[in-house]
Amino acid sequence: MGVVVLDFGSQYTHLIVRRLRELGVSATVLPGDSPWEEIGAQKPAAVILSGGPASVLDPDAPRPDPRLLSSGLPILGICYGMQLLANLLGGEVIRSGRREYGRSRLDWYEGPLFRGLAGEVEVWMSHSDAVVSPPPGWRAAAGTDDCPVAAMAAPDGKCFGVQFHPEVVHTSHGKEILENFLDLAGVPRDRNPEGILARLVAEVRERVGKDRVLLGVSGGVDSCTLALLLAAAGAEHLAVFVDHGLLREGEREEVERALRSLGVNLRVVDAKDRFLAVLQGVVDPEEKRRVIGREFVRVFEEVAREGGPFRYLAQGTLYPDVIESAGSTGAANIKSHHNVGGLPERLGFELLEPFRDLFKDEVREVARLLGLPEELRLRHPFPGPGLAVRIVGEVTEDRLRVLRRADAVLVRALREAGLYGEVWQAFCVLLPVRAVGVVGDRRHYGYVVALRAVTSVDGMTADWARLPHEFLDEVARRITRQVPEVGRVVLDITSKPPATIEWE
């Protein structure tokens, strides 16, 4: 038993899930208009209604199955979700005439939802409609200057609404507010890495049975952990590591040593030439991802024909990958992931994606339990298309060589300075321009490399890392000295949003 989050199209719905999991709670996202039978099948201990862009005053506004409101389940409505509760239960919602967006402050708050809080509470607002009168029997539980009913509570002490977003980091004490709701609803805190691993092993065994599984290993923590999971589940598998020539320095050798020593049935395929051939002349980022995805599948199909038959193609697809590729209700496409949106429709395999509902840090914990070496488990995320999407413009062997060496300099410097574990991801990007410089008293036109370092929890949002100026100065000096083709180093200080972490 956990929490069902009904998604009404909010940009923050998946942050709700993230916060719940941080609190040890299992959470499932369903479309906001899901029938009661589908909601009840999850055996939820509570339900959260997400925010959304619609107005409850519109006749075609999305609404939950009315049987939910008479189910007796504890319910928390957030933003649009609170307005739904007020509107459907006899309260009054009006168009406020202006949109309230950004930070605000609770002038007052009371009741069990705010238990343990004291002093100033900042909240994040994003709404244009407002609740001016709670439903009969309900009472206001918080207010701001612009929003007299910023929270409301039902007489049963288990159902609540908040006009603000407790799931975002901009709301101080947001996690405590969610935790209070879970306590009042009696939701068990039984989600932990050991339980996740046990569930994954059982699911793989049940689905795969005696069939054979083909797995693409990219060298990142996700696919490496998946290889170990298949081995732990006793699935007959072949893990294929495709050296597409787009890897980081020393990556092939490191992966081979680690996985073979842990019982993974691994085959390495050297495909550098064929990937460079299909990427020739390709400059569009989405086309790069599609081309690489197609070529990966072709390699797998060839391996399958040689060593088959295989029923399943296993992939280390994660929850953020699915979200960014528009794999969830109400989500807009941000970029195609080669293992989500870039695969051809006729695969010839059934997809097996055990990590599809996990975040990166959850996979790292599963990896720890499975014994993945720390240098792989804590390695920074690396895109499936590899260095191809860190070269802006056409991918060539010369550009790959330059970028690989520059990136290795950055990573070594981070490790030496004790900063590698302080950032979520750090890498170099090779730009499609050359800049003038001076080398040995002569003019020199060299490549421009951008340094990208971010801090994050799950990759859904990220802030640029404030690395010490002295460190940045040292890295720029090392790159231009050790990689003479590079004449200039610049720093990317854009957060996500508005940017993505990768450049392409």
pLDDT digits (tens, 9 = 90+) for 248-263: 998 899 888 888 888 8
* Res 95: pLDDT: 83
* Residue-level pLDDT at 384: 82
Sheet strands side by side (includes 139-143): 27-31, 3-7, 46-49, 75-78, 160-162, 151-153, 139-143, 108-109
Residue range 35-49, pLDDT digits in tens: 999 999 999 999 999
Q: What pLDDT, on the 0 to 100 scale, is given for residue 415?
A: 96
3-state DSSP assignment of residue 229: helix
pLDDT of residue 443 exceeding 80: no
How many H helices and E strands in the chain? Answer: 14, 19
Average pLDDT, the chain: 89
Radius of gyration, alpha carbons of the chain: 25
C-alpha–C-alpha distance, residues 48 and 394, integer Å: 46
**213-240 mean pLDDT:** 90
Catalytically annotated residue among 165, 237, 338, 380: 165
Q: Give the whole-number percent of the chain exceeding pLDDT 70.
A: 92
What integer pLDDT is reported at residue 98 of this predicted model?
A: 61
Arithmetic mean of pLDDT, 459-487 = 93
pLDDT confidence of residue 336: 46
The model's confidence at residue 200, banded by pLDDT at 50, 70 and 90, is very high
Lowest mean pLDDT among 93-102, 230-239, 290-299: 93-102
Looking at residue 13, its pLDDT comes to 87
pLDDT at residue 331 is higher than 80: no
Nearest to 8 by CA among 77, 73, 80: 80
Q: Is 165 a catalytic residue?
A: yes
Can you give the pLDDT at residue 450?
98
Residue 72 has pLDDT above 90, yes or no: yes
Choosing from 14, 127, 147, 167, the catalytic residue is 167
Among 214-218, 237-241, 346-350, whose mean pLDDT is lowest? 346-350
Reported confidence tier of residue 360, pLDDT bands at 50, 70, 90: confident
Widest Cα–Cα separation across the chain: 82
Q: Is the pTM of this model over 0.75?
A: no
Alpha helices by DSSP H, 262-377:
272-279, 285-307, 319-324, 360-370, 374-377
Of the candidates 79, 147, 159, 224, the residue annotated as catalytic is 79
Rounded mean pLDDT, 214-231: 89
Binning pLDDT at 50, 70 and 90, where does residue 342 land? very low
| Terminal Cα distance for the chain, rounded | 40
Amino acid at 291: V
